[in-house]
């Protein structure tokens, strides 16, 4: 039988495709970071007999190949468009709206929201001072009538109304929904390719808020606007619809005398826009240098000599400089990174006005509101008890902080000197994992919690190691090489504390206690 030309072509094309892909995979230089995903790509797996025999090597090679396959972005885009064109958008996280707008899917009420609003009410009670609450509706809500294809309903108005209804007496709610709703083109208040509000959006909120308070504000004309082109934000990354172009990002400069300090550092920056950040993957960090636990803005030329404390998410990276047009001192607190209790901070520092200002999405999902009025431990934070098997699995979890959170929602997370400690509670044990600031896993282990803080508090400096072992036979002893080989023992207590004891020649030299 004669071989047909089409058969030759099929054979050749198939083999050529496989060959080209594999040769390019081998030859092309490997990227370290994915620009679109804003994460580190897998590194080349290391060979070891242990990895090989456990099958881990095989899995690692697959992830490595998947991350570095030639034309990866192209293929990812093809898949996103396939899903969009076959109508599956409504089941995805990002919706496409008219005018190439990419917005997050609608939010639904959840338990965390109720906890968070209660935490804000409790803060007002603890402070004995009114607390203001202003929630920003989502970008999807602003374009709810122009979503392409099917869409679940955007209930931002109802959700915010319900939230405000639950706020305690000491909370003054500030309505931004009607301000944004009344705006002629509400979509201009948000980016097309990012979930944040634009500078115009932040300015509109600033102006409305100052009007509500009866305070002066800087007129729009008095700002000089600098524009950067081709900003592609988070929703662009997540949707992977690459045919959608970037957009301009505006920096509005008002008073030149605003200074910025980050965290507890004394270093003063004479700028609010960090243009070096524009070279980075996430250009939104140009506003106040991205996320910091504590940002202090000071403006000696501002008309109102008061301190405004804003408990906030990243929307205020853009809003903060506007507020500093009016207030001499504006303090921005990010609960995800701020490890002290905010109520304590307010008492120690003179604060005239406290406002909780969040995007609806973050307010409904942030799990760090416990840090408002008192630092909370795992016993208060955890809503779920895991069994021993699950804890073992969690502690062996291989992946990023984010991936872990996707599988086992993170309820108890503490920031300690640039790394995160995440804990999961069980009946008589806890799983504790460490992540670095990049969100990469450092270690994980399950500890048995058979003693309480009370049991351990009888220990004193100078007591013997034997006594510790008697009180807590399950304690985990280790030698810390970084600390001159000092022996230490870690005790995770059943009431949510971590007690670390350091020894010197088998006697206790130091005891530290912290919340888990």
Partner 1 sequence: MLFSSNVFLFAFLPSILLIYYICPRKLRNPVLLLWSLVFYGWGEPVYLFLMIATILLNYFFGAWIHIRMSTNRSAKLILGIGVAANLLILGFFKYAGFFVTQLKAVLPFMAAVKVPEISLPIGISFYVFQSMSYIIDVYRNDAPVQRNVLTFGTYVTLFPQLIAGPIVRYADVALQMDNRKENISKFSSGVHRFIIGMAKKVLLANPMGSLWNLLQVQEGTLAAWVGIAAYTLQIYFDFSGYSDMAIGLGRMFGFEFLENFNYPYISKTITEFWRRWHISLSTWFKEYVYIPLGGNRKGLPRQILNLLVVWGLTGFWHGASWNFLLWGLYYAVLLIIEKLFLLKVLKKLPAVVGHIYSMVLVLFGWALFFFEDLSALGAFFVQLFKPAAISGHCGNIILAYLPMLALSIFAATPAAKVIGEKYGDKPVVRYVKLAAMAFLMVLCVAALVSQSYNPFIYFRF
Query: Does 390 help bind partner 1 (rule: CB under 8 A)?
Result: no
Task: Take residue 237 and report the two structure tokens written for it.
Answer: 């990354």
Near partner 1 by CB under 8 A: residue from 313, 325, 382, 426: 313
Tell me which DSSP letter residue 178 carries. Answer: H
Phi, psi of 32 (to 5 degrees): -90, -40
CA 169 to CA 280: how far, in whole Å?
A: 44
Near partner 1 by CB under 8 A: residue from 32, 53, 417, 470: 53
Task: Take residue 57 and report the two structure tokens written for it.
Answer: 């090597």
CA 225 to CA 230: how far, in whole Å?
A: 16
Query: Does 408 help bind partner 1 (rule: CB under 8 A)?
Result: no
Query: Does 126 help bind partner 1 (rule: CB under 8 A)?
Result: no
CA 295 to CA 278: how far, in whole Å?
A: 20
Query: Does 500 help bind partner 1 (rule: CB under 8 A)?
Result: no
**Smallest gap from residue 428 Cβ to partner 1 (A):** 21
> For the chain, how long is the longest CA-to-CA vector?
94
Near partner 1 by CB under 8 A: residue from 96, 171, 202, 240: 240
Q: What secondary structure does DSSP assign to 239-296, as a single string?
A: H--TTS--EEEEEEE--TT-EEEETT----BS-SB-GGGGGSS-GGGGBTTS--SEEE
Q: What secondary structure does DSSP assign to 363-394, as a single string?
A: HHH---GGGTTS---HHHH---PBPHHHHHHH
Spatial neighbors of 276 by CB under 8 A, at least 6 apart, are none
Query: Does 8 help bind partner 1 (rule: CB under 8 A)?
Result: yes
Tell me which DSSP letter residue 494 carries. Answer: T
Q: What secondary structure does DSSP assign to 290-337, as a single string?
A: S--SEEEEE-TT-SEEEEEEEEE-THHHHHHHHHHHHEEEEEEE-TTT
Tell me which DSSP letter residue 426 carries. Answer: B
Query: Does 79 help bind partner 1 (rule: CB under 8 A)?
Result: yes
Query: Does 110 help bind partner 1 (rule: CB under 8 A)?
Result: no
Query: Does 58 help bind partner 1 (rule: CB under 8 A)?
Result: yes
**Under 8 Å between Cβ of 487 and 477:** yes
Q: How far apart are the first and last CA of the chain?
A: 76
Tell me which DSSP letter residue 483 carries. Answer: G
State which residue, 53 or 279, has the beta carbon closest to partner 1: 53
State which residue, 86 or 505, has the beta carbon closest to partner 1: 86
Near partner 1 by CB under 8 A: residue from 373, 401, 447, 492: 401
Name the segment binding partner 1 (CB under 8 A); options: 237-245, 256-264, 299-307, 373-381. Answer: 237-245
Near partner 1 by CB under 8 A: residue from 45, 118, 146, 152: 152
Near partner 1 by CB under 8 A: residue from 101, 144, 238, 472: 238
Name the segment binding partner 1 (CB under 8 A); options: 2-10, 123-131, 381-389, 489-497. Answer: 2-10
Query: Does 362 help bind partner 1 (rule: CB under 8 A)?
Result: yes
Query: Does 282 help bind partner 1 (rule: CB under 8 A)?
Result: yes
Near partner 1 by CB under 8 A: residue from 43, 44, 62, 224: 62
Distance from the Cα of residue 14 to its chain's centroid: 44
Spatial neighbors of 129 by CB under 8 A, at least 6 apart, are 170, 346, 354
State which residue, 9 or 268, has the beta carbon closest to partner 1: 9
Task: Take residue 111 and report the two structure tokens written for it.
Answer: 């338990």
State which residue, 13 or 479, has the beta carbon closest to partner 1: 13
Positive or negative, the CA dihedral 220, 223, 227, 232 is negative
**Smallest gap from residue 13 Cβ to partner 1 (A):** 7
Using DSSP, state whether 357 is helix, strand or coil: strand
Near partner 1 by CB under 8 A: residue from 174, 192, 195, 429: 195
Near partner 1 by CB under 8 A: residue from 28, 44, 66, 442: 66
State which residue, 49 or 485, has the beta carbon closest to partner 1: 49
Count of residues in contact with partner 1, rule CB under 8 A: 69
Query: Does 146 help bind partner 1 (rule: CB under 8 A)?
Result: no
Query: Does 109 help bind partner 1 (rule: CB under 8 A)?
Result: no
Near partner 1 by CB under 8 A: residue from 47, 109, 402, 477: 402
CA 312 to CA 319: how far, in whole Å?
A: 10
Query: Does 477 help bind partner 1 (rule: CB under 8 A)?
Result: no
- H-helix or E-strand containing 9? helix 5-27
Query: Does 4 help bind partner 1 (rule: CB under 8 A)?
Result: yes
State the residues that interact with partner 1 by CB under 8 A.
1, 3-4, 6-11, 13-15, 17-19, 21-22, 25, 36-39, 52-53, 55, 58-59, 61-63, 65-67, 69, 72, 75-80, 82, 86-91, 149-153, 195, 234, 237-238, 240, 282, 291, 313-314, 336, 362, 400-403, 439
């Amino acid at each position: 039988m004669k071989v047909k030309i089409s058969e030759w072509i099929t054979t050749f094309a198939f083999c050529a495709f496989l060959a080209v892909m594999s040769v390019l995979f081998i030859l092309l230089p490997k990227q370290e970071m994915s620009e679109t995903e804003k994460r580190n790509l897998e590194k080349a797996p290391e060979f070891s007999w242990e990895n090989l025999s456990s099958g881990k090597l095989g899995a690692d090679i697959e992830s490595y190949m998947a991350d570095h396959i030639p034309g990866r972005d192209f293929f990812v885009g093809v898949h996103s468009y396939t899903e969009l064109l076959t109508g599956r958008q409504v089941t995805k996280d990002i919706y496409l709206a008219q005018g190439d707008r990419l917005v997050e899917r609608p939010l639904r009420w959840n338990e965390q929201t109720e906890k968070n609003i209660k935490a804000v009410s409790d803060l007002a009670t603890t402070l004995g001072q009114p607390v203001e609450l202003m929630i920003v509706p989502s970008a999807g809500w602003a374009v709810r009538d122009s979503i392409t294809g099917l869409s679940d309903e955007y209930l931002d108005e109802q959700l915010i109304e319900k939230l405000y209804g639950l706020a305690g007496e000491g909370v003054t709610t500030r309505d931004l929904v009607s301000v944004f709703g009344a705006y002629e083109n509400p979509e201009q208040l948000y980016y097309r390719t990012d979930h944040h509000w634009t500078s115009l959006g932040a300015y509109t909120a600033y102006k409305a808020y100052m009007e509500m308070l009866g305070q002066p504000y800087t007129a729009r004309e008095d700002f000089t606007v600098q524009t950067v082109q081709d900003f592609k934000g988070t929703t662009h990354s997540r949707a992977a619809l690459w045919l959608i172009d970037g957009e301009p990002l505006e920096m509005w400069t008002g008073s030149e005398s605003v200074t910025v300090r980050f965290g507890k550092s004394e270093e003063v920056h004479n700028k609010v826009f960090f243009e070096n950040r524009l070279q980075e993957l996430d250009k939104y960090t140009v506003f106040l240098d991205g996320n910091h636990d504590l940002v202090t803005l000071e403006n000696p030329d501002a008309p109102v000599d008061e301190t405004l404390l804003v408990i906030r998410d990243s929307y205020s990276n853009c809003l903060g400089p506007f507020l500093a047009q009016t207030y001499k001192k504006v303090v921005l607190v990010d609960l995800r990174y701020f490890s002290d209790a905010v109520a304590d901070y307010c008492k120690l520092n003179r604060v005239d006005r406290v406002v909780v200002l969040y995007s609806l999405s973050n307010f409904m999902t942030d799990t760090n509101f416990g840090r408002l009025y008192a630092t909370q431990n795992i016993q208060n934070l955890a809503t779920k008890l895991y069994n021993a098997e699950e804890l073992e699995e969690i502690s062996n979890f291989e992946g990023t902080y984010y991936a872990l959170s996707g599988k086992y929602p993170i309820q108890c997370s503490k920031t300690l000197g640039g790394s995160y400690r995440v804990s999961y509670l069980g009946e008589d044990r806890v799983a504790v994992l460490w992540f670095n600031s990049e969100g990469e896993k450092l270690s994980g282990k399950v500890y048995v919690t058979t003693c309480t803080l009370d049991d351990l508090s009888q220990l004193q400096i100078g007591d013997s190691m034997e006594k510790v072992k008697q009180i807590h036979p399950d304690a985990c002893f280790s030698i810390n090489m970084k600390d001159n080989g000092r022996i230490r023992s870690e005790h995770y207590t059943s009431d949510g504390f971590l007690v670390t004891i350091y020894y010197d020649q088998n006697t206790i030299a130091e005891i530290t206690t912290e919340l888990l």
